[in-house]
Amino acid sequence: MSRDEQLRQELDEFKKEKERIRNIVGEIGGKNNKQHKIVSSIFVLLIAILLILGVVLEKITLFLTLEIVIILAIFKVIWMFYEFQRANHFQFWILNSLEFRLNEIDKRVRKIEKMVRDKNMKI
């Protein structure tokens, strides 16, 4: 196998791994994932129902309606912070493991370079 073929194969493996990691990060902290859309839809639906019951149909007092809507909005913000923190933690974990792997590769490259230098000196 020639050097170019080997480099192309390594590049293809890197691209596959990069895509796999991107998909995992998207599932965990992506803004357009299914769970995020469902939770956002539920919050919007609850707020709309409360506003209709409170303002239009006057089944609930306006003050109570506004309090419940504000509490729901606060819960939504708290949930968004939680999801953001979870995604950041996972991304940090991935970057940390990549750094560890890069350091290991760097050590191996230095060791190989030293072996090549020693071999060239003997020749």
Q: Decide: 52 and 44 in contact? Cβ < 8 Å.
A: no
Q: Is residue 43 part of a domain?
A: yes
The Cα-based distances of 77 to 55, 80, 83, 88 in angstroms read 24, 5, 10, 16
Residue 101 lies in a domain: yes
The pLDDT of residue 29: 59
Count of domains forming the chain: 1
Question: Domain for residue 17, yes or no?
Answer: no
Determine contact, residues 72/47, Cβ cutoff 8 Å.
Answer: yes
pLDDT, position 114 = 92
Report the phi/psi class of residue 58: left, alpha or beta, with left for phi > 0 and alpha for psi in -120 to 50. Answer: left
Domain range enclosing 56: 33-121
- The H or E element that residue 41 is part of is helix 34-51
In a domain, 5, yes or no: no
Per-residue pLDDT in tens (0 to 9) along the chain, 123 residues: 687 888 788 888 888 888 887 777 666 655 557 888 898 899 999 999 988 888 888 888 889 988 999 999 999 999 989 988 988 888 888 889 889 999 999 999 999 999 999 988 887
Instruction: Tell me whether residue 14 is in a domain.
Output: no
What is residue 28's predicted lDDT score, i.e. its pLDDT?
61
For position 32, what pLDDT does the model report?
Answer: 59
Question: In this structure, is residue 90 part of a structural domain?
Answer: yes
Distance CA 40, CA 44 (A): 6
